[in-house]
Structure formats: structure tokens, C-alpha cells
Amino acid sequence: MSEKLLEIKNLKTSFRIKDDYFAAVDDLSLSVNKNEVLAVVGESGCGKSALAFSVMGLHTRAKIDGNIMFKDRDIAHMSPSELNKLRGKEMGMIFQDPLTSLNPLMEVGEQIGETLFLHNKALSKEKRKEKIIDLLNKVGIPRPETVFNQFPHELSGGMRQRVMIAMAIANEPELLIADEPTTALDVTIQSQILELINELKDDMDAGIILITHDLGVVAEMADRVAVMYAGQIVEIADVHTLFENPKHPYTRSLLNSVPNANEAQDKLHVIQGIVPALQNLPREGCRFKARIPWIEDSAHEEHPELHEISPGHFVRCTCYKDFDFPESEEEKHGVS
């Protein structure tokens, strides 16, 4: 049974550069259901973290247009004090870098306790400690009683990330945003953390937005996948469709450029050019056009829209119909 938990409508997050505002997330709409992992994939600079920060209301200096409906309340334009009642309680976030996002001067127990205290002041100190130890146990930290009184620098990277997760889930949030939760970690620890997030999803019936650039992680974790490029969603589908039948040139290029441990490849695919800087984003026409120059102009739409090509599978622009990888280097520079 899927129930809508979060619905983002026409979100536009713009940052000021000199005297102009530039949209890092540009007219983006998506929804997250309960007990679902939605993965947002893209390269650095595509706006995936800006999206996460917008939902949590952490971009205080950005201009935010559009609506973010969380359980039928619009949180996009809430005041910070109202937001604070939600953040850490109904919405939790796991940040990318556990070393910089934990307070180095606070003991682990105290840091986790803070979230508990702020949302439930009636809880006694003893009860709180009990709960923190429970949480530390739940995220798989050995010797929780010792760790309770330790500082972040005394823990390894994987342990710190677990502490972050314990903080995020302390009040059993309904929506959990994980911004590259395993990027800084080794593979064996990564697989443990992902396993943990999966268990939490089933336990708490939570909706999870998993932001990552690692397609392997997506394949293991996601129910649905949204691929972002230059502030827009270029393709969205359930995970099986996306990996078996990717349509958008960007999705296909990304999938082709991953060195696969299970298959030998001669040459990896390289996407031409670079992700343009925020000020230089092409705002007209297909944003991916400049990176597939061998595709004729007429293949692109003038105002690319998301087209539903099968139920739940949306692709932006029509260029996917004519897209194929170039066979030779010369062809790459193709039609000009």
C-alpha cells in the first residue's frame, strides 16, 4: 500500500551570484511514498544535495519557490521555529561527512540526547540514557555504554556514520533523507550501513530519499530512481526499469561509464564536455544537448518535458529516441 508522504511541486531553489538568482533546482516535482526508497542520482553540481537541503529547510539564504508538501502541510515556506518542530522529529537527515557534521566538543550520548530532549522535554534523564543506549545498539555499535561517553574523534569513520544515523532516527522520523551516507566509507562498512538503512525502512515504515552518485548503491537499495542533470529530473522510473531499459542519453551514459567488477570492458564511456557551472546552465531547450553533439538539433524538443513512456517511467525531451552511442571518435564530434 503506497501512501504519499512527501510531494514536491515545481520546486525551484535559486542562489544569488552577484546580482542575479540562478536556479540550482529548477522546476522539479517528485513524490516519496511511505516505506519506499527513492534514489536521486547525478554528478556533483546537478542539484541533488540542494534538493535535500531545500526539503529540510537548510538553505536559509536561497530563494525557494514552489511547494513541498509533507503530510499535507507546505514546508517550503515555514518559519524556522515551525520547521524545528518537524526537523529531527518527523524528518531526519543523515549527512555525507560524519566528521564535520558531528560536534567535536560533545560526547556522543549528549549529542544524540539533544534531539530527544528538544522534542520530548518530559522524558527523564535516566529514560533518555536508556533510549540512547537502545539506539546505539540498534545501529550496531559495540559497547554502547562506553561509546556513550566518547567524543567523535575517538570513533572510526563507520562508527561516526552510525552515530549520525542514530541521531537521525532518534525520534523515529517518517521521512529520512540520506545525503551520500556511505561515500566516505569502505565497501564492507558501506554494505553494513546500507543494510542498516534497509532494516530501518522496514521497521519504521519510513520514506527514504537516498542521494548518491554510486549506481551500485542505487541498484542495491532503491525502489524508484530519479536521475538529475543540471537541476532537472531527466528520467524517473522504478529501479528495474531504469537499469534494464534506461532511455535518456544521460542515464545511459552514466551506466556505461561505471567500471563493473563483474564484467570486463575495454574502454569506459566518457561523457563529453563538463557539467556547466550554475551561471552558465543552458536554460532554453534540452540541457544535455551540448554533451551529445552528434545528435541532430531537430531530435531535441524546444521546451523539453517529461514524457510518460510506460506507467511510472518518465523521460525528459525527445532526444532519447534518436540517441545512440557513437561508434568512432570522429563521429563524436559529429554534426555541427
Contact with another protein (CB under 8 A): which of 32, 139, 141, 239? 239
Q: How far is CA 314 from CA 6, 137, 202, 247, in A?
A: 19, 41, 27, 9
Name the burial class of residue 212, with classes exposed (0-12), middle (13-18) and buried (19+) by CB atoms within 10 angstroms of its CB: buried
CA angle, 56 as apex, 62 and 234 as ends, to 5°? 75
Cα–Cα dist 322/148, whole Å: 58
Contact with another protein (CB under 8 A): which of 267, 298, 303, 336? 267
CB of 217 to another protein, least distance (A): 5
Cell of 274: 563538463
Query: Strand runs (DSSP E) across 189-335, as ranges?
Result: 207-212, 224-229, 232-238, 306-310, 313-316
Contact with another protein (CB under 8 A): which of 13, 190, 232, 251? 190
How, if at all, do strands 207-212 and 36-41 pair? parallel
Under the binding rule (CB under 8 A), the answer on residue 253 touching another protein is yes
Under the binding rule (CB under 8 A), the answer on residue 140 touching another protein is no
Cα–Cα dist 233/209, whole Å: 14
Q: What residues between 109 and 138 interact with another protein by CB under 8 A? A: none
Binding window for another protein (CB under 8 A); candidates: 49-57, 81-89, 173-181, 269-277: 269-277
Q: How far is CA 132 from CA 112, 199, 319, in A?
A: 7, 18, 52
177 phi and psi, to 5 degrees? -110, 120
DSSP state of 163: H
Contact with another protein (CB under 8 A): which of 74, 82, 134, 186? 186
Contact with another protein (CB under 8 A): which of 1, 105, 261, 335? 261
Under the binding rule (CB under 8 A), the answer on residue 2 touching another protein is no
CB of 43 to another protein, least distance (A): 4
CB of 225 to another protein, least distance (A): 9
Under the binding rule (CB under 8 A), the answer on residue 260 touching another protein is yes
Under the binding rule (CB under 8 A), the answer on residue 230 touching another protein is no
**Binding-site residue total for another protein (CB under 8 A)?**
40
Under the binding rule (CB under 8 A), the answer on residue 10 touching another protein is no
286 phi and psi, to 5 degrees? -75, 125
Q: What residues between 44 and 103 interact with another protein by CB under 8 A? A: 44
Task: Report yes or no: 178 and 211 within 8 Å, Cβ to Cβ.
Answer: yes
- Among residues 17 and 274, whose Cβ is nearest to another protein? 274
Under the binding rule (CB under 8 A), the answer on residue 17 touching another protein is no
Binding stretches for another protein (CB under 8 A): 43-44, 157, 186-191, 194-195, 213-217, 219-220, 222, 239-240, 243, 253-255, 257-262, 264-265, 267-271, 274-275
